[in-house]
Amino acid sequence: MQLIPVILSGGVGSRLWPVSREAHPKPFMTLPDGQNLIQKTFLRAAGLEGVAEILTVTNRELLFKTEDEYRAINDVGLPQGYILEPFGRNTAAAVAAAALQLREIYGPKALMLVLAADHLISKEVAFRDAVAKATQLASSGWLVTFGIKPRYPETGFGYIEAAADGVLGDGLKVERFVEKPDFETAQGYIAAGNYYWNAGIFCFQVGSVIAEFEQHAPDVLKAVEQTLESSRCSTSSGYSCLALDVESFAKVPDISIDYALMERSRRVATIPCDIGWSDIGSWNAVSELTSPDESGNRFDGEVMAYGAKNNFVTTENRLAALVGVENLLVVDTPDALLIAHKDHAQDVKHVVTRLKAEGHAVHRLHRTVHRPWGTYTTLEDGDRFKIKRIVVKPKASLSLQMHHHRSEHWIVVSGMAVVVNDEQELMLNTNESTFIRAGHKHRLRNPGVIDLVLIEVQSGEYLGEDDIVRFEDNYGRCDV
């Protein structure tokens, strides 16, 4: 049996702002134990039997960030592949693209296990047992979903109704999928005993899911097939990387795998399981990962409380103090602070919508931004000037680029830099600097074996990140 876990990493997680942002979405959130969600998902998949490779479907902008996170934990060198979407088109498109690609490589009998990159599963042994049961059913042509045994009447999840007479080995035939219910309906589901939370975890035989697409969602399948015909495959860090064609992919219907396939097919089964699953869908869910004190407070970071009860606080680099408040969510980051009542945790997404509409950068970027070559941190942003701390990885290079509206001063703090400055190429050592005029082509490279750290001082009439023209780039980001 060949099993290929397919990790879907496309969501933003706007309910978890200000930690989750477009350029640093929910899968990359670091949890109290030091790992982030996408790393946990990768390790969980890597621990399964019969894994041939791990295929990740993600956004083009997140490829190098994802590779960095995997590289830090992939000690055994498990093969990887990537499908890069130019923009999100929902889960049906992602699953169809993965299935078609895997059929070409492994044939129609291979099994794919679809996992969300941003969910948490705490019971690893139970998960592996559920996967073993799912692969048995999937090998017989069933589309298998994981049904989580509900612990309480949750109104934020969809439910799976199992057929009363539909026992299939270790699984159950699915009667129907139901939308998020109201509280009274959810109570009825719990009492009935044959309803399960829909975790969005699926297992199919590649050929079977393609056949079901042909029958129930031929428009999705055809559009994805046309996209693959127009797309190009390359390698990144030694792994296969399929970048989906922008124009063709825009024509793919925007629909979830549940609506496109699972609700229409009559070949759907569920594996009832208790795997310690959580979708980490709000700050309330995140707070459950931290143990409460005697007053019900949950703290991640340096926090002092007096007369405070049932609060959650996470803070990165500074002390937070709570006095006489209850039931608050406090999330402190270097450039944005969230304070919300626990009863309104789901409403955080509305703040993000407004920030985006007003063009505020904090909906997209953190103060520290990750790039394929390293990171930059904005230290100060003033009138006609901006100061950044730039860190370039060993042997890495920024693009050959030019800015229309700003000049830059570069000062090396540690390491060494090779700089292209218009017609000159020069070597800068620690405590040396150079000045780059607006309109000059320039490039920064780290030839050393340790990080290059420098301070960049920008000045000019416009300092936006979109004032850049790339002429050469090692990471496929060229403009001309």
Angstrom distance (rounded) from CA 425 to CA 117:
43
* The pLDDT of residue 165: 79
**Structure tokens that stand for 474 in this block:** 């090692």
Assigned CATH for 3-278: 3.90.550.10
Cross-strand pairs, 453: 391, 414
Residue found by looking up tokens 């697409």 in the block: 213
Angstrom distance (rounded) from CA 170 to CA 111:
18
Q: Who contacts 226 (Cβ-Cβ below 8 Å, separation ≥6)?
A: 248, 251
- State how beta strands 111-116 and 268-273 pair: unpaired
Kindly give the parts of the chain with pLDDT less than 70.
Answer: 236-237, 478-480
pLDDT digits (tens, 9 = 90+) for 435-449: 999 999 999 999 999
Residue found by looking up tokens 């803070």 in the block: 315
Q: Residue 51 — left, alpha, or beta (φ > 0 → left; ψ -120 to 50 → alpha)? A: beta
Compute the CA torsion angle 349, 355, 361, 366 (nearest 10 deg): -30
* Domain range 368-472, its CATH number among 3.30.465.10, 3.90.330.10, 2.60.120.10, 1.10.357.10: 2.60.120.10
Contact 147, 198 (CB under 8 A): yes
If 0-12 CB within 10 Å is exposed, 13-18 middle and 19+ buried, where does residue 449 land?
exposed
**Strand ranges for 21-138 from DSSP E:** 54-59, 80-85, 111-116, 120-121
Residues of the chain with CATH 3.90.550.10: 3-278
* The pLDDT of residue 326: 98
Contact 443, 391 (CB under 8 A): no
Angstrom distance (rounded) from CA 408 to CA 261:
53
Residue 370 φ/ψ, nearest 5 degrees? -90, 135
The residue type of 465 is E
Angstrom distance (rounded) from CA 222 to CA 288:
43
* The pLDDT of residue 480: 53
SS3 content of the chain, % helix, strand, coil (to 5): 25, 35, 35
Angstrom distance (rounded) from CA 298 to CA 311:
6
Angstrom distance (rounded) from CA 297 to CA 290:
9
Contact 211, 265 (CB under 8 A): no
Angle between helix axes 63-71 and 37-46 (nearest 10 degrees) is 60
Angstrom distance (rounded) from CA 391 to CA 148:
44
What is the CB neighbour count within 10 angstroms for residue 358? 8
Angstrom distance (rounded) from CA 340 to CA 194:
36
Q: Who contacts 166 (Cβ-Cβ below 8 Å, separation ≥6)?
A: 172, 173, 174, 175, 269
Q: How big is the chain, counted in residues?
A: 480
Pinpoint the alpha helices (H) of 217-278.
218-230, 246-249, 257
- State how beta strands 312-315 and 298-300 pair: parallel
Residues of the chain with CATH 2.60.120.10: 368-472
Grouping H, G, I as helix, E, B as strand and the rest as coil, residue 459 is strand
Grouping H, G, I as helix, E, B as strand and the rest as coil, residue 211 is helix
The residue type of 274 is D
Residue 344 φ/ψ, nearest 5 degrees? -115, 25
Taking the CA atoms of 213, 219, 225 and 227 in sequence, report the sign of the dihedral they define: negative
